[in-house]
């Protein structure tokens, strides 16, 4: 496929065991483009700013090409050195990676610790036909062994070879394979007998996007303005300061007061409508980019999920690695019966600990997926119990005190400034009162809503206000149980019950102490009766 070095083989047709190899030379281009990409926007801004002042431009023009060439060289050279100094080996018992230009690091990952081999493909590598291979060990994040980048066929072969070696290393441990846009033949051969569990057609994505209303775009715009403020022809802060100092706002005010009531209402409506429209549009775009052609299938190996428009991902999660389920929803989407299902598992899903398996679905669609993973969704027959009311009372009290304190400080400062009674002072009082009653209402609602239950195989918890979520964990897959109590909890006899779970958090906050002890005893009995090594695989 490509040329080979005398001692280090490059992408050959076969992968020999115990042979040192290099990643694809094209990865130099991919890395270089990435770093140049991050430098090009500021560079463009600088050039643009320079171009506005013509005398500077004429001085700059002859140097333009050499400067750009230098920028590219500065970016490409380290990328090339990195490529030259990086080598990996698929050994008989481990995968090794040596890298570093001056200080070398050598990492070895034994096969029985490799949990999944995932291939990921971002936009630029995808254009160059490259993939990033990750050997995940469950350590999470930066400690994983990563090869960036190899060619698509090479990635596919690496996955096959390593998968074979991993299965040889530990017959019982199935591996979690995640991959990205595979060449067609491989897929069709292996995937016979797959069942489609869940898919999201474009109409569903559109609904999902509309519910994912997001105003992040405004924050991004503000951030961009701050970042490149120095390049703008005027100073934003000064402009706003001038706006007030010159009483230009009075002009705007008189302009508005010159309008009739209908025009004013229309103006406000227009403002609100445009903000809502932008929010909805950004939600829809984000959803389409992330979840395009979302498909969840049950394969012989486990659950297989494919999604993505620009960055396509293809993840396989073995059934026995699912530690717990999370069924989440939102305040509004709950009214329409929409929920999202995700798994807590040992492997990571592009940075987040939970794997989305059905991000936007009706409960009737979620139930079969849950039972496929070996969980049963809570029914009405469950004996749900509430946390201690004292916990919510204390929390509400503390939050109210904080609000009161801040309000008091603001009030004193404002009163000292005003030097006489002005209506503004009453407004501060009113805001504090409203905030405190909101806090109280929230805590009361939470106490009414939050609950937990224990069934023969599972522990269940339902929490939350704006984004309520139900967590379901398998009792035998928990590792330890802790009862934690702060000073207030000891005074009012409530505690937190925290379970040690692989790959995620699972805690019941504010339980009555007796309740927590009963729960703990029951859960411990089912944990202790099953040895970890004999957990269902």
Site for other proteins in 228-257 (CB under 8 A): none
Phi-psi region at 135: left, alpha or beta (left = phi > 0; alpha = psi -120 to 50): beta
- Asked if 479 is part of the footprint of other proteins (rule: CB under 8 A), the reply reads yes
Phi, psi of 534, rounded to the nearest 5 degrees: -105, 20
Report H helices in 310-380: 363-372
Instruction: State the CB neighbour count (10 A cutoff) for residue 54.
Output: 9
Which residues are CB-contacts of 418 (< 8 A; sequence separation ≥ 6)?
A: 424, 425
Site for other proteins in 514-533 (CB under 8 A): 517, 520-521, 524, 527-528, 530-533
Judge contact between 361 and 389, C-beta under 8 A: no
Phi, psi of 439, rounded to the nearest 5 degrees: -60, -45
- Asked if 481 is part of the footprint of other proteins (rule: CB under 8 A), the reply reads yes
State the minimum distance, in angstroms, from the CB of residue 521 to other proteins: 7
Kindly state the tokens that stand for 55. Answer: 């005398």
Distances (CA, A) of 334 to 182, 209, 340, 381, 515: 37, 15, 10, 21, 29
Strands 116-120 and 176-179, bridge-based pairing: parallel
- Asked if 478 is part of the footprint of other proteins (rule: CB under 8 A), the reply reads yes
Nearest 5 degrees, angle CA 408-CA 411-CA 417? 145
Kindly state the tokens that stand for 6. Answer: 């005398």
Strands 451-454 and 176-179, bridge-based pairing: unpaired
- Asked if 486 is part of the footprint of other proteins (rule: CB under 8 A), the reply reads yes
* Stretch near other proteins under the rule CB under 8 A, chosen from 145-153, 309-317, 412-420, 496-504: 496-504
* Stretch near other proteins under the rule CB under 8 A, chosen from 155-163, 334-342, 457-465, 477-485: 477-485
* Stretch near other proteins under the rule CB under 8 A, chosen from 21-29, 186-194, 334-342, 490-498: 490-498
State the minimum distance, in angstroms, from the CB of residue 524 to other proteins: 6
* Stretch near other proteins under the rule CB under 8 A, chosen from 92-100, 119-127, 225-233, 479-487: 479-487
Give me the residues paired with residue 253 across strands: none
d(CA 435, CA 408): 13
Of these, 398, 467, 505, 536, which contacts other proteins (CB under 8 A)? 505
Q: Which is nearer to other proteins, 205 or 516 (CB)?
A: 516
Q: Which is nearer to other proteins, 322 or 527 (CB)?
A: 527
State the minimum distance, in angstroms, from the CB of residue 482 to other proteins: 4
Site for other proteins in 122-161 (CB under 8 A): 138
* Stretch near other proteins under the rule CB under 8 A, chosen from 89-97, 180-188, 195-203, 480-488: 480-488
- Asked if 500 is part of the footprint of other proteins (rule: CB under 8 A), the reply reads yes
* Stretch near other proteins under the rule CB under 8 A, chosen from 43-51, 228-236, 252-260, 478-486: 478-486
Residues at the site binding other proteins, with contacts judged by CB under 8 A:
113, 115, 138, 172-173, 346, 478-487, 489-490, 495, 498-507, 517, 520-521, 524, 527-528, 530-533
């Amino acid at each position: 496929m490509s040329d080979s070095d005398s001692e280090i083989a490059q992408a050959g047709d076969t992968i020999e065991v115990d042979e040192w190899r290099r990643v694809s030379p094209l990865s130099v281009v991919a890395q270089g483009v990435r770093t140049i990409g991050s430098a090009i926007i500021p560079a463009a801004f600088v050039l643009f700013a320079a171009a506005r002042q013509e005398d500077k431009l004429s001085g700059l023009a002859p140097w333009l090409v050499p400067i750009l060439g230098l920028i590219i060289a500065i970016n490409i050279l380290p990328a090339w050195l990195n490529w030259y100094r990086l080598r990996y080996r698929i050994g008989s018992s481990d995968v090794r990676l040596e890298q570093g230009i001056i200080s070398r690091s050598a990492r070895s990952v034994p096969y029985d610790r490799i949990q999944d081999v995932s291939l990921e493909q971002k936009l630029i590598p995808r254009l160059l036909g490259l993939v990033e291979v990750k050997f995940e060990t469950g350590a999470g994040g930066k400690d994983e062994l990563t090869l960036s980048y190899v060619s698509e066929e090479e990635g596919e072969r690496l996955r096959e070879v390593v998968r074979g070696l991993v299965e040889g290393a530990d017959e019982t441990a199935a591996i979690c394979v995640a991959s990205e846009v595979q060449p067609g033949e491989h897929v069709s051969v292996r995937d016979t007998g797959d069942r489609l569990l869940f898919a999201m057609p474009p109409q569903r994505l559109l609904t999902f996007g509309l519910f994912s209303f997001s105003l992040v775009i405004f924050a991004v715009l503000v951030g961009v303005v701050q970042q490149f403020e120095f390049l703008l022809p005027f100073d934003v802060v000064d402009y706003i300061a001038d706006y007030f100092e010159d009483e230009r706002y009075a002009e705007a005010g008189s302009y508005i007061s010159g309008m009739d009531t209908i025009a004013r209402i229309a103006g406000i409506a227009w403002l609100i409508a445009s903000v809502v429209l932008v929010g909805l549009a950004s939600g829809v775009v984000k959803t389409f980019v992330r979840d395009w052609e979302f498909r969840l299938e049950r394969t012989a190996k486990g659950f297989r999920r494919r999604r993505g428009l620009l960055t396509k991902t293809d993840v396989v999660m073995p059934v026995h690695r699912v530690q717990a389920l999370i069924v989440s929803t939102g305040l509004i989407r709950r009214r329409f019966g929409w929920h999202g299902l995700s798994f807590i598992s040992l492997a990571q899903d592009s940075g987040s600990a939970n794997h989305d398996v059905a991000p936007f679905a009706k409960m009737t669609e979620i139930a079969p997926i849950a039972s496929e993973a070996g969980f049963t969704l809570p029914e009405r027959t469950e004996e749900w119990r509430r946390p201690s009311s004292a916990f919510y009372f204390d929390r509400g009290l503390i939050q109210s005190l904080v609000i009161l304190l801040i309000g008091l400080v603001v009030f004193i400062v404002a009163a000292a400034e005003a030097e006489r009674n002005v209506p503004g002072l009453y407004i501060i009082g009113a805001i504090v009162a409203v905030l405190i009653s909101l806090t109280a209402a929230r805590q009361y609602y939470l106490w009414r809503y939050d609950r937990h239950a224990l069934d023969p195989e599972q522990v269940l918890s339902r929490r939350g206000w704006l984004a309520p979520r139900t967590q379901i964990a398998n009792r035998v897959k928990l590792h330890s149980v802790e009862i934690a109590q702060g000073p207030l909890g000891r005074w009012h006899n409530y505690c937190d019950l925290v379970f040690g779970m692989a790959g995620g958090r699972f805690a019941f906050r504010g339980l009555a102490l007796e309740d927590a002890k009963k729960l703990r005893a029951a859960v411990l009995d089912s944990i202790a009766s099953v040895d970890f090594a004999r957990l269902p695989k």
